[in-house]
Structure 1
């Protein structure tokens, strides 16, 4: 069995472990366990939350949120906390647990690949991709889910999407390409103010040297994306994977021929869309009209 297939199998097995609890409860439980470990280490070190927070750059209330599993601790905080509390690597070892907890089960395999990607190509047809979303847009979208998500789950997933956006700060910088249908940026999910903030964020990210954002106009008579949204992820060394998601279910594509077909399709979609320069000009025009 090839390494890429073994990796995919391992990810699937890991995700299957979430089945013992409903997905939202599984994530909350993992964060709660880590929070208790953090609190025990802090108490053992003889520090109150205010002192600990001052040494790690967070308020006492934020520390309480970390310890109670209501907020996701960022990796840099975990590293610093391990040093400040002299935890001997115990907290650092929990970073993978936290990384698992912050995503719904169906997305965890893709999240691992995304974190390692040197190139990412995304085609979206209905909503703005999570990597480009503002917190306000994310909360609006998650609040529309049916059945309803509880507020803790909404906050947890919103924080997770913000954490994923660290990909824009990585170095060496990965190559990132986003193509989205025109309806994606015109849809007023969350209201006018949320749409404005989202368009401004797309415009800002689109100006990064390693990012290309393109709009597929509604008046195109040819569109190779009629089969729906998908993502292509390329790891160091050239291994490429496809990812598709719908209705809370996902498919991780590892077969080389299927991935090659997705890559060819994406190339055609990019050629049919507006150029990156034209697309940013279009976003600016939409902002002026709001």
Structure 2
């Protein structure tokens, strides 16, 4: 993981230097470049000093304005990977390309369903404390992942979420109300299924923690298991099958999608 992290840092440093060199060679100040790109001077400063990782649209526009001839856009994919914590980068790439995605959540509302306010509350509670720029970066990257819901053709997405996760008001009751509304909204999409694992359920197939299952366009099936600052991606069929078995039983043990929607509406009314 250390070597991988150093590689990502190198990509960012290279990108920052290229932007700065291209800007100065064109005789532009940071404020002037920002005006041409539709951003403030502080945004350009943050990008050039590595305090902020630019979004893909920023890179496309900068390449065009600076007449870079693709020098910046060729790094777009690697720069985008660096927006995520090192332990999540491989999973983020899989997620963006998956035709099927199945998530079991037992600690917090899944990142794909999080509102900006809830995501910020989660990131600000992280210990050791994250600096404000890192918090902003992680919130931004988490929200950016949600384009998967609008992708065509639509991937099949399902969630099994522990009831206690949906009842814990992280960030306060107002934040949690908005979060429950978001989960309800996503659950009404045709390609999305949300099920709640009731606190009262006397059987449970996955007491060892959360995980995510992926199926790629090529039919490869993988399982992603995340722990604190670390993760494991399983591709060996026997290991993946074990998680698929757990998830299948979890869905049978959880409330049905219709029952889950009813419970979510009830919880929303209680806030």
- TM-score w.r.t. the length of structure 2 is 0.90
Contact map agreement 2:87 2:230 (CA 8 A) in 1: yes
Query: Residue 114 of structure 1 aligns with which residue?
Result: 95
Aligned equivalent of 1:97: 78
Instruction: Report deviation, 1:264.
Output: 2.0
Root mean square deviation, CA, Å: 2.3
> Within 1, Cα distance between the matches of 2:133 and 2:222?
32
Please state if 1:152 is matched with 2:133. Answer: yes
| Preserved contact between residue 72 and residue 160 of structure 1 (Cα < 8 Å) | no
Give deviations 1:160-189, integer Å, cap 9, x for gaps: 212212212222221111110001110111
- The alpha carbon displacement at 1:60 in A equals 4.3
| Alignment partners' CA distance in 1, 2:133 and 2:178 | 23
Corresponding residue of 2:63: 82
Map of 1:179 onto structure 2: 160
Shift of the alpha carbon at 1:99? 2.0
Query: Deviation string for 1:44-96 (max 9, x for gaps)?
Result: 33445555445544444434433333333221321232123211111112213
Q: Does 1:264 align with 2:250?
A: no
Do the aligned residues in 1 keep the contact of 2:215 with 2:222 (CA within 8 Å)?
yes
Q: Identify the residue that residue 3 of structure 2 maps to in structure 1.
A: 17
Q: Which shows bigger deviation, 66-75 or 97-106? A: 66-75
Q: Superposed, which structure 2 residues align to 1:163-174 within 5 Å?
A: 163-174=144-155
Alpha-carbon shift at residue 233 of structure 1 (Å): 0.9
- CA–CA separation in structure 1 for the residues paired with 2:15 and 2:154: 31
Q: Equivalents in 1 of 2:269, 2:13: separation in Å?
A: 45
Match for residue 253 of structure 1 among 216, 225, 234: 234
Counterpart of 2:177 (choices 188, 196, 199) is 196
- Is 1:123 paired with 2:104? yes
Aligned residues: 271
Identify if the C-alpha distance between structure 1 residues 48 and 237 changes in structure 2 by more than 3 Å, giving closer, same or farther: same
C-alpha distance in 2 between matches for 1:50 and 1:209: 45
- What does 1:274-289 correspond to in 2, within 5 Å? 274-289=255-270
The separation in 2 between residues aligned to 1:183 and 1:192, in whole angstroms, is 14
Q: Which runs of 5+ in 1 are unaligned?
A: 1-14
State the shift of 1:18 in Å: 3.8
SS of the residue corresponding to residue 260 of structure 2 reads helix
SS in structure 1 opposite 2:99? strand
- Taking structure 1 as the reference length, the TM-score comes to 0.84
Unaligned stretches of 5+ in structure 2?
none
- Give a deviation string over 1:101-139, Cα, whole Å, max 9, x none: 212221122112112111100001111111111222122
User: 1:16/1:61 Cα in 2 relative to 1: closer, same or farther (>3 Å)?
Assistant: closer
CA distance in 2, matches of 1:121, 1:203: 17
Cα deviation per residue 1:241-260 (whole Å; 9 max; x = unaligned)? 00111122211111101112
Once the two structures are TM-superposed, the CA of residue 266 in structure 1 deviates from its matched residue by 0.9
SS of residue in 2 equivalent to 1:94: helix
Tell me the CA shift for residue 231 of structure 1: 0.5
Note the C-alpha offset of 1:224.
Answer: 1.4
The structural deviation recorded for 1:34 is 2.4
